[in-house]
Amino acid sequence: MHDALEPTREPDWVLSHEGYNVLTESAVESRFAFGNGFLGMRAARSISRGPTWVSWLGYSRWASWPRCYVAGLFDVPNIEPPVPALVPVADWSRLRILLDGEPLLARKGEVRVRTLDMRRGLLLSDWTHRTPAGIVAKGRELRLLSLADRATGLQLLQLSLDRDGVEVRIEASFALAGLGMEPIRLEPDLGAWRLEGTGKGVAMTGVTTLRLDGERLTPDRPFSLRWLWRWRSVAGQVAELDRLVAVARADAPGDDPSPAAAAALARGASLGWRKVLAAHEGAWDARWAASDIVIEGDDDLQQALRFAVYHLTSAVNPEDERVSIGARALTGDAYLGHVFWDTEIYLLPFYTAVWPEAARALLMYRFHTLPGARAKAAQLGFRGALYAWESADTGVETTPERVVGGDGALVDILTGRMEHHISADIAHAVWQYWRATGDDDFFLRAGAEILLETARFWASRAVPEADGGRHIRHVIGPDEYHEDVDDNAFTNVMARWNIRRGLEAIDLLRARWPDHAAALREKLALGDTELEDWRDAVARIVTGFDPTTGIYEQFAGFHALEPLDLSAYADRSEPIDVVIGRERTQRSQVVKQADVVALIALLPEEFPGGTAEKNFRHYEARCAHGSSLSVGMHARVAARLGHAEMALRFRQTPATDLDLDPSSAGGVRIAGLGSLWQAVMLGFVGLDLMGDTLRIDPRLPRQWRSLSFRVCWRGRSVAVRIAGATVEATLVEGEAMEMRIGAATRNLTAGVPLQVSL
């Protein structure tokens, strides 16, 4: 067990935190969270008495928030507003240690180091504790959620004392399940619960052993899922505990998840903890081989990128197309586990490029929730599919209509009613995935229908008016500082693009799969008259582009608002809307996050000549970056425009999680981490997966000596190393292909390195 508890030696692969501080503990728990896309767990101390409530400078908050999540396990809890929320399950890693009857608790006498081993995908703890009686206890711990068998979790513990004769008691248990979970089975090694609202079920089972000097001790079993051992210490003697657990989810009311959990535990038990660990490490080896980015010349960014890729890998489950990734993944309670546009715009490019199976599963979630999107569009008086701004498991809109503000007053939440660009965002991700993978089965089963139904929505949403244009009024764009605006450029241009792709999808289906085209058109009742209306919408949608200046007006009337010099507020520590007030913010030309700039990133073809530079400069000066989604997108665009130093200044994207900002207590900002990957790969590298050939167009910072990565493209795997003005590309797997590097197009054959001078 000793070797298993040793972290990876290379410093770029590990993050460590020493000590315990009630003000930052929740942020540490988010930062060091671990998971596998089915299960997620915060890095709370396992030897603990549960959540700790603290008060500081008049504010009260939880210092520690232990949580274990199961993806897709949503219910409507007894909270306000009453919207679906991800329900935590029993924390299976809890341990209670008593020495001569006194429990080990966090005290000044404790020295604790937690280490996130990103290379191996696990959490390590190393601690020394001196009790008031002077007993010194030393412990080392490992916890993981298996990437090889996603139902499985593993915990290892070593414990030793410095004196003889101490009465030692260790209790290993499953903590209480979340509120609203009705127990349906409680057996010695298994518990099963049903959610009171949705009827979904979850089962958890485990087996735990403890050995002294290699000899197994028999535990007492006073309650379900609880093991208790007692013995007298011998100085230096090592106690070793291993706990294997398994979890299963049942979505249909009445289904019993217990057999699936028992089968998963049996798989793990037949292997033993060493092979479970080895299989998990092997699965992480495979993921890192596909997704690691190696930068020579920027150690800080290297570690930040690995932190991003670690959490992106931990967040997704390619085996389950009924779930997606929430705004904080499975690392915290913020946003109640809801899925936003973040997934398609900020996360999908990573998965499409390095893990296409995961990207497909996430898009299939949107296909399965298409009925909810159709229902929302119809409810608002439109045709086609309008996806929920906040989505849980069914696709029904879960954005609360109002919440209680900090002053106790009710605040209307308009995003669920007006932030409609999400339908075009999802369509963009569908098209990007299909172009990058050539996955025709997905296109025929799901992708084409999503494209057509979202295009249909936009054609009905863009209303012809007397001025000859078609307008999209009463919306919220990505810049959420300005609500209920007309003709938001991002929304309208993305809508037009979406309709174009819908028309292109029809033409593709007719040409390649005519029978499928006929069947789908019949299913959707999509006639020629409606398609002609789509063409009219493409021709007449108002975009806000001014040909005399080359600038898109962010929305109708934006340039008539009060200019605001953001440099005068450069030293602020609060968001700009807090500093100057909400009303002045709404009256000002200040942007919350990338809006037109995001459009430059997603649809660069809409910015010919120097218009991309003009629009970027115009809006970069007006953006207050009031969202973690913003700086990574700005960095991506700055890098593509050749502003490497500016792009590097934007790389603070993951800093709020790496630097333990207390506001990250609700979980890591997974979309911000995805945008960091985009800034490097879609920005500096210039990776383009949407053409007829794989393309890169590198524009690296001068201080980077080299950059290496792998990428998937239409069933192939390509390894690339960029060093100075030289690019070396090797087809690692798959059939021969063409690749465009800068302005040169070359042939790649398996195993033969190709060198190109830029």
Burial 538-568 (b: 16+ CB within 10 A, else e): bebbbbbbeeeebbbbbbbebeebeebebee
Of 614, 565, 617, nearest to 588 (Cα)?
Answer: 565
The active-site residue out of 240, 480, 483, 553 is 480
- Per the CB < 8 A criterion, the answer to whether 333 and 371 are in contact is no
Q: Convert 122-155 to b/e letters by CB count within 10 Å (16 or more is b).
A: bbbbbbebebeeebebbbbbbbbbbbbbbbbbbb
Extended strands (E) in 458-562: 463-464, 470-471, 545-546, 551-552
For residue 192, give the DSSP letter: E
Give the span between the Cα atoms of 372 and 369, in whole angstroms.
5
Q: Give CA–CA dist 245/265, Å, rounded.
A: 6
Q: Which helix (H) or strand (E) holds 85?
A: strand 85-89
Helix (H) or strand (E) holding 730: strand 726-733
- Are 748 and 720 in contact by the 8 Å Cβ rule? The answer is no
Could you tell me what percentage of the chain is helix, strand and coil, using 3-state DSSP and rounding each to the nearest 5? Answer: 35, 25, 35
Q: Rounded to whole angstroms, how far apart are CA atoms 659 and 670?
A: 15
User: 363, 351 in Cβ contact below 8 A?
Assistant: no
**Which of 176, 192, 195 has the alpha carbon at shortest distance from 87?**
195
State how far the Cα of 539 lies from the Cα of 544, in Å rounded to an integer: 14
For residue 312, give the H/E element and its range.
helix 299-314
Say whether 110 is catalytic. no
User: E strands of 568-715, at which residues?
Assistant: 694-696, 706-713
Sheet of strand 94-99, all strands in order from the earlier edge strand to the far edge: 102-103, 94-99, 167-173, 226-232
Pairing of strands 737-741, 694-696: parallel
Contact 36, 317 (CB under 8 A): yes
74: enclosing H helix or E strand: strand 68-75
Which residues on adjacent β-strands are paired with residue 47? 95
**How many residues are given for the chain?**
758
Strands 167-173 and 152-161: unpaired
What is the bridge-based pairing of β-strands 737-741 and 726-733?
unpaired
Give the angle 249-254-255 at the CA atoms, nearest 5°: 40
Please state, in angstroms and rounded to a whole number, the distance separating the CA atoms of residues 596 and 356: 28
Would you state the structure tokens that stand for residue 515, as one six-digit string?
């029978």
DSSP-assigned letter for residue 41: E
What distances in angstroms separate CA 464 from CA 148, 492, 526, 537, 558, one per listed residue?
54, 13, 20, 8, 22
CA distances from 197 to 80, 200, 253, 399 (A): 15, 8, 10, 18
Looking at the annotation, which residues are catalytic? 480
